[in-house]
Amino acid sequence: MSGPAAPRLARDPLLAAAAVSAVDPATDDLSLAVRLLATTPTHEERAPAQLRQWALAADTFGAALDPGLPCRARIVERGDGLDQLLLARYTSRPATVELYTDTIDRAETLIDELGWRSWYPVGSVRAAALAHETAHALLHRKAMRTALKEALGHTALRLGRFRVLGHVAGAEEIAAHAYARTVCGLGRSPLLLTAALTAAVDTPGRQR
C-alpha cells in the first residue's frame, strides 16, 4: 500500500474526547441520520425538511423489518478492516457478509473509553455489524427495495397519473442502522458509534 500511513483508531482518552467533541452524544439518532443524508452526494441542494422526512421514513422502515427473515449470505471473518475503517461489508456475488474483527475490537475499546457501555453492551458491536449487513442483504431483494422506495415516497418522474419512484441515496444505510438497533436492542443507533469511530481515527500530524 503506497501513500500516507493508514489511519489508526484511538487507544487513548484524548482521542476519545475528540470523538465526543466531533459527535455530540446528545444529538438524537434521527438528527444523525439527517446528517448522513445531507453529506451524501445528490442531496447537496435538498431542503432540511425533506431530508428529515426521508430519514424518518427510512429509520421507521428499518426498525419494522421482520427480525426473523433469514440471511442466506455466508459469513466470513477478516482481520484487515482498520485500513479502510470497515466494520463489516455485504457483497452480493456470491452473497457474503464480511466481519472485520480488528475494527470490531477497536470499537468495543472505544465504547469503554467513551462510557457508552449502557448503550452498547459487550459483544454488541459484532452483533450489530452482522445485523446491519443482514439488512443490506434483505434490501438487495427487489421486493424489499421497492417497499423502501414506497415508504420514502420520492417521485423521480411523473407522467399524468403515473409516477416512477426514485432512489434516495443513503436511505438503505439508515434503514440498516435502524434494523441493527432494533434487533440488537441497543440504547442508541450504531450510526452514533460509527461516527465516533471515524472521528477517533489517529491520522499522521494530529495532536494527541
Which tens digits make up the pLDDT trace of 154-207?
887 878 788 888 999 999 999 999 999 999 999 999 999 998 898 886 533 333
Find the mean pLDDT for residues 21-50: 87
Helix (H) or strand (E) holding 90: strand 88-92
The mean pLDDT value for 76-99 works out to 92
Q: What is the model's pTM? A: 0.85
Tell whether the model's pLDDT for residue 20 goes beyond 60.
no
What does the domain layout of the chain look like in residue ranges?
8-199
